[in-house]
């Protein structure tokens, strides 16, 4: 373990940890997006998907703990590296100039922290049901008796609110900047790139970010435009 801490403390070691945790978060975001898109398949599809996810309680808690560790690793390493980077440039240039660094790459810490704040809010809204209790803990009555959490209505009724949708869209735009640099950056940090693949990897970041963000933003937009309608029966 001593060796691991020495590695984690080094500049490249912390970068590798940030990249690896970022890679897991990328997979998470992709899976989350694919899950979200089931809203277009209707109330039953989304609710049974949500029910399936929650049905394996042990699995759910293992995933939650692992994700918490991953998110903390990503944040702790990035904040520590950011502080070191600020210290390394103790005197600032009078004339600042940039040749090729993208806006996304220069604002990673801020886009990342904004997305993190949003994730807390998002969990409080939909998972813990504390911020908007009127849209949480809704249930769908099943035809054969019994009931299950009505995720579909929670999402649709929640995102009919312009403020909730607006905050979601803003957070997704931050996520776009974060992913557009983060996705490509991860390959460079892990050394999984080459002269041949570099142009492809550098383009893949913005493309990946655009796909994820466009798919996610489409949900509040279609809800606001009335294309995705509340389930028949409305509020319980």
Partner 1 sequence: MNLTLHVWRQKNPQAKGQMVTYPAREISPNMSFLEMLDIVNEELVLKGEEPIAFDHDCREGICGMCSLVINGIAHGHERGTTVCQLHMRHFKDGQEITIEPWRAKPFPVLRDLIVDRSALDRIMMAGGFISVNAGGAPDANALPVPKEHAELAMDAAACIGCGACVASCKNASAMLFMSAKICQFAHLPQGQPERMDRVRKMVAAMDAEGFGNCTNQYECEAVCPKEISVRFIAEMNRDYWRAWL
180 belongs to the binding site for partner 1 (CB under 8 A): no
Stretch that binds partner 1, among 86-94, 120-128, 135-143, 217-225 (CB under 8 A): 86-94
Total residues contacting partner 1 (rule CB under 8 A)?
44
184 belongs to the binding site for partner 1 (CB under 8 A): yes
Q: Can you tell me the distance from the alpha carbon of 124 to that of 23, in angstroms, rounded to the nearest whole number?
A: 25
Stretch that binds partner 1, among 88-96, 150-158, 161-169, 214-222 (CB under 8 A): 88-96
The correct pick among 21, 43, 153, 189 for binding partner 1 (CB under 8 A) is 189
Residue 124 CB neighbour total at 10 angstroms: 14
Which residues are CB-contacts of 164 (< 8 A; sequence separation ≥ 6)?
125, 132, 158, 220
The correct pick among 1, 52, 57, 97 for binding partner 1 (CB under 8 A) is 97
User: Nearest distance from residue 66's CB to partner 1, in Å?
Assistant: 21
Question: Coil, strand or helix: which one is 11?
Answer: helix
Q: Can you tell me the distance from the alpha carbon of 111 to that of 183, in angstroms, rounded to the nearest whole number?
A: 14
94 belongs to the binding site for partner 1 (CB under 8 A): yes
The correct pick among 1, 87, 144, 163 for binding partner 1 (CB under 8 A) is 87
For 28, 38, 50, 165, 181, the CA distances from 59, given in Å and listed in that order, are 15, 21, 14, 30, 31
Asked if 112 and 78 count as a contact pair (C-beta separation under 8 A), the reply is yes
Binding mask 107-146 for partner 1 (x = CB under 8 A): -x--------------------------------------
Which residues are CB-contacts of 121 (< 8 A; sequence separation ≥ 6)?
131, 167
Question: Coil, strand or helix: which one is 211?
Answer: helix
96 belongs to the binding site for partner 1 (CB under 8 A): yes
The correct pick among 5, 11, 79, 110 for binding partner 1 (CB under 8 A) is 11
The correct pick among 191, 210, 211, 233 for binding partner 1 (CB under 8 A) is 191
Q: Concatenated DSSP letters for 142-184?
A: -TTS-EEE-HHHHHHHHHTSHHHHHHHHHHHHHHHHHHHHHHH
User: Nearest distance from residue 180's CB to partner 1, in Å?
Assistant: 12
The residue ranges that bind partner 1 (CB under 8 A) are 3, 7, 10-16, 81, 84-85, 87-102, 105-106, 108, 181, 184-185, 187-195, 198
């Amino acid at each position: 373990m001593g060796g691991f801490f020495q590695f984690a403390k080094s500049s490249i070691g912390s970068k590798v940890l940030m990249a690896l945790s970022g890679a897991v978060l990328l997979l998470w975001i992709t899976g989350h997006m694919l899950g979200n898109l089931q809203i277009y398949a209707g109330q039953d599809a989304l609710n049974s998907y949500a029910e399936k996810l929650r049905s394996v309680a042990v699995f759910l808690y293992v995933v939650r703990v692992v994700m918490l560790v991953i998110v903390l690793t990503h944040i702790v390493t990035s904040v520590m590296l950011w502080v070191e980077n600020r210290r390394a440039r103790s005197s600032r240039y009078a004339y600042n100039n940039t040749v090729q660094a993208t806006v996304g790459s220069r604002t990673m810490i801020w886009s990342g922290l904004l997305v993190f704040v949003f994730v807390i809010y998002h969990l409080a809204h939909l998972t813990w049901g504390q911020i908007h209790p009127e849209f949480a803990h809704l249930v769908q009555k099943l035809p054969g008796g019994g009931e299950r959490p009505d995720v579909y209505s929670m999402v649709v009724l929640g995102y009919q609110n312009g403020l909730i949708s607006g905050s979601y869209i803003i957070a997704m735009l931050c996520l776009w900047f974060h992913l557009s640099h983060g996705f490509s950056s991860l390959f460079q940090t892990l050394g999984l790139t080459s002269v041949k693949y570099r142009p492809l990897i550098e383009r893949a970041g913005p493309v990946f970010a655009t796909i994820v963000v466009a798919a996610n933003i489409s949900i509040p937009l279609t809800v606001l435009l009335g294309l995705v309608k509340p389930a028949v029966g409305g509020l319980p």
